Amino acid sequence: MKQLFIFVTFLVAVAASASTVKIPGPDGVTLSAEYLPPPKGGNDAPAMLLLHGCGGLWTKGGVLMARPARMSSLLQELGYGVLMLDSFTTRGVRETCTVPLAERKISSSTRVDDAEFAITWLKARREIDANRVGVLGWSNGASTVLKLVGRNNPGIKVAVAFYPSCTSLLKQKQYNPIIPTLVLIGEADDWVSADACKQLDDRIVGDTFHVVTYPGVYHDFDVPNSEYKQRFDVPNGVNPGKGVTTAPDPKATEDAYRRTFKWLSLWLDPARNPSIWRNANPLDRK
């Protein structure tokens, strides 16, 4: 009960300290986002854009999803500014998890466009160092991350993708992102394929695309206060029509978060490696 109280408290704290902002988006759409400025102030702070999964940024009850809320809190402790982008609400969509891929109103390309507009907004903030902006996403948001880093000049230094879909990218012969990207995924994931991500990793030239897999771990392994669940309302997955599995894994979460913050520090901390973070194309130094 004590842990639950602490968890709810930090969720309330994040929600209270965040400001709702409006961001011009693609095709004249105005996007909504929750912004947490860097806690230490100044004008040279790093920043992270967080991209929600197919469940959206908000619960049915209008509460900020626990996953981005926790990550925002941890990033704030490290001095980051954080922008949690909502690609669904202003388009009249609550969630897309239960919608077949072919019937979704919001395409993956649209979400990538949204991310680019949000990155532009973040980099224009006077308290943010435009040379130290990264992106992190989960599931559908993570797939968006991978497609973003595959574009020319995505405008970021680093990316992290928690359990994305890599299958469609394997079909692209020219997919070779130059942005340092960390992928974290469970080997038991039946919503997306870890094998596809490993194959993609093997094919990509260089060593700044890094895939870490966790044996016996399912989708959504880092969702706070969650439990094992089989979802037959999800039509998409490794085995379409047979449902998907989600389950927490504290050990995988601990390792994944440790790797995430180490990865971000490597590419965004000028004191740690100036020769990397100042270079527009990290692969030139590999």
DSSP calls for 73-92: HHHHHTT-EEEEEESSGGGT
Evaluate whether residue 9 is within a structural domain.
no
CB 140 within 8 A of CB 113: no
The count of other CB atoms within 10 Å of the CB of residue 94 is: 12
Alpha carbons 169 and 200: distance in angstroms, whole number: 8
What does the DSSP 8-state code read for residue 29?
A: P
What's the DSSP call for residue 72? H
β-pair partners for 137: 51, 161
| Domain count for the chain | 1
Phi, psi (rounded to 5 degrees) for 278? -85, -15
In whole angstroms, how far apart are CA 234 and each of 53, 99, 221, 228, 267? 13, 7, 17, 15, 36
Report the run of H or E that residue 117 belongs to, with start and end: helix 108-123
Segment-wise mean pLDDT, segments of 10 residues, the chain, 286 residues? 46 68 95 95 90 97 96 96 97 95 93 98 96 97 97 94 96 90 98 98 91 98 97 94 96 98 92 52 33
- pLDDT tens column, 244-256: 999 999 999 999 9
Q: 81-86 and 45-51 as β-strands: parallel, antiparallel, unpaired?
A: parallel
Query: What CATH number does the domain containing 71 carry?
Result: 3.40.50.1820
pLDDT at 91: 96
With both helix axes pointing from N to C terminus, report the angle between 66-77 and 2-17 in degrees, rounded to the nearest 10.
Answer: 80
Residue 231 within a domain: yes
What is the extent of the structural domain holding 42?
A: 21-57+64-92+108-278
| Residue 6 falls inside a structural domain | no
Give residues with Cβ within 8 angstroms of 250, minimum separation 6.
none
Answer whether residue 165 is part of any domain. Answer: yes
Closest CA to 79 of 55, 43, 112: 43
Of 159, 133, 131, nearest to 145 by C-alpha is 159
Task: Please indicate, yes or no, if residue 77 is contained in any of the structural domains.
Answer: yes
Position 174 scores a pLDDT of 87
Nearest C-alpha neighbor of 283 from the set 105, 149, 131: 149
The rounded distance, in Å, linking the Cα atoms of 190 and 221 is: 12
Specify the pLDDT at position 19: 94
Segment 55-89, tens digit of pLDDT:
999 999 999 999 999 999 999 999 999 999 999 99
> Is 12 inside a domain boundary?
no
Which DSSP category does 223 fall into?
-
Domain for residue 8, yes or no? Answer: no
Asked if the structure places residue 248 within a domain, the reply is: yes
Question: How many Cα atoms within 13 Å fall on the side-chain side of residue 38?
Answer: 20
Q: Where are the beta strands (DSSP E) in the chain?
A: 19-24, 30-36, 45-51, 81-86, 128-138, 158-162, 181-186, 209-214, 229-231, 244-246
